[in-house]
């Protein structure tokens, strides 16, 4: 009996199974989920220079993407190449084109598009280069890391694996992530309020005294204190924030009015007009460098707070509502009353404090 007569049926059966498996694998990888190798520094420190991530292709077809989601998309600049980026702007959002430059411009994201960026802005080619990304170019959402950096095998393996696992589920844990910054989840993974070392000192018999070691200590848990602690911890510093009160009883909670920022949602506005009003309101005694920085950054800061989750009052069109406040004018005092104050009804401080603490 010839070789083909003896082994032909087995070969055909094997070929059939292989073909069926190949079709199944192709369909599964294309339409359900896949694992892919990602290389590059654009998503440091959330993702390593190289590593394997798990991507699912289903949910973004049935629900809207959210700020903070990490996605794989086709690069508009290099067709055929896939990139790993974080969603930082949704359709209808007004977003800063490039927060790394002084002369900032804002763009309204059109429907059917998202704004994506790398967590490591200095080494990322993203929407700052090629603009909003069409939803049709989104291939899937990253939901897990399959394996972390192999260097972890040499140093503190388990602690780092769990820290990186926190990063890997950032898309589901951060519903309103940081705009143009590292993931808020990094604050959690850094354990900012846990001492590196605590040793009992027999100084007093009344109660134990412990020695805590931190990179930074913030005194006070009002809006400024919490934001400072949040920023330090986000940057990787082991940070303590101390207070005599429960944080949400700090005095920011009593602030009612609002925050002035030249967003221009109600009328034409310019941060330079805001600066003029502030310098004039200080009777020309204020630190003009500090005033310049504050007024220029105010729109970005308000948008950042909105991305954190502060529920600012809205106009009928969905924009952040701005109302008139004393001492605010247009065109360097020659254009009438400015509508510049953003607020959360009459409890702005309450909303900001609970958002930052929560």
CA angle 300, 303, 308 (to 5 degrees): 125
Tokens of 91: 């359709």
Q: Which residues does the annotation mark as catalytic?
A: 42, 85
Tokens of 275: 């600066």
Q: Measure the CA–CA gap between 274 and 303, rounded to whole angstroms.
A: 17
- Largest Cα–Cα distance in the chain? 107
Sheet strands side by side (includes 138-147): 33-39, 50-56, 138-147, 70-74, 82-89, 113-117, 133-134
* Whether the Cβ atoms of residue 182 and residue 229 lie closer than 8 Å to each other: no
β-strand 70-74 against 138-147: which pairing, if any? antiparallel
Helix runs in 170-287, H state only: 170-173, 185-189, 223-234, 271-281
């Amino acid at each position: 009996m010839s070789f083909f007569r003896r082994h032909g049926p087995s070969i055909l059966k094997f070929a059939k199974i292989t073909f069926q498996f190949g079709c199944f694998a192709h369909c599964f990888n294309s339409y359900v989920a896949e694992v892919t190798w990602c290389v590059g520094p654009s998503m440091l420190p959330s993702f390593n220079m190289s590593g394997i991530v798990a991507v699912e292709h289903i949910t973004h077809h049935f629900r809207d993407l959210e700020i903070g989601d990490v996605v794989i998309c086709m690069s508009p600049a290099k067709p055929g190449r896939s990139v790993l980026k974080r969603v930082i702007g949704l359709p209808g959002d007004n977003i800063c084109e490039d927060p790394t430059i002084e002369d900032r411009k804002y763009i309204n994201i059109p429907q059917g598009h998202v704004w994506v960026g790398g967590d490591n802005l200095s080494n990322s080619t993203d929407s700052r280069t090629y603009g909003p990304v069409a939803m049709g170019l989104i291939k899937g959402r990253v939901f897990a890391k399959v394996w972390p950096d192999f260097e972890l095998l040499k140093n503190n393996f388990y602690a780092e694996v769990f820290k990186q696992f926190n990063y890997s589920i950032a898309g589901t844990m951060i519903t309103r992530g940081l705009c143009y910054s590292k993931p808020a989840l990094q604050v959690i993974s850094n354990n900012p309020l846990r001492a590196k070392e605590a040793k009992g000192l027999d100084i007093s018999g009344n109660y134990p005294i412990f020695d805590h070691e931190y990179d930074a200590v913030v005194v006070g848990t009002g809006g400024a204190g919490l934001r400072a602690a949040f920023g330090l911890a986000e940057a990787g510093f082991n940070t303590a924030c101390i207070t005599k009160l429960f944080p949400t009883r700090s005095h920011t909670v009593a602030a009612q009015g609002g925050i002035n920022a030249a967003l221009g949602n109600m009328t034409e506005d310019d941060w330079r007009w805001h600066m003029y009003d502030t310098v004039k309101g200080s009777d020309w005694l204020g630190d003009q460098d500090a005033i310049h920085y504050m007024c220029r950054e105010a729109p970005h800061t308000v948008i950042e707070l909105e991305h954190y989750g502060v529920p600012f009052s809205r106009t009928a069109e969905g924009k952040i509502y701005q109302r008139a406040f004393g001492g605010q004018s247009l065109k360097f005092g020659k254009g009438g009353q400015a509508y510049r104050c953003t607020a959360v009804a009459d409890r702005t401080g309450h909303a900001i404090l609970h958002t930052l603490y929560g």
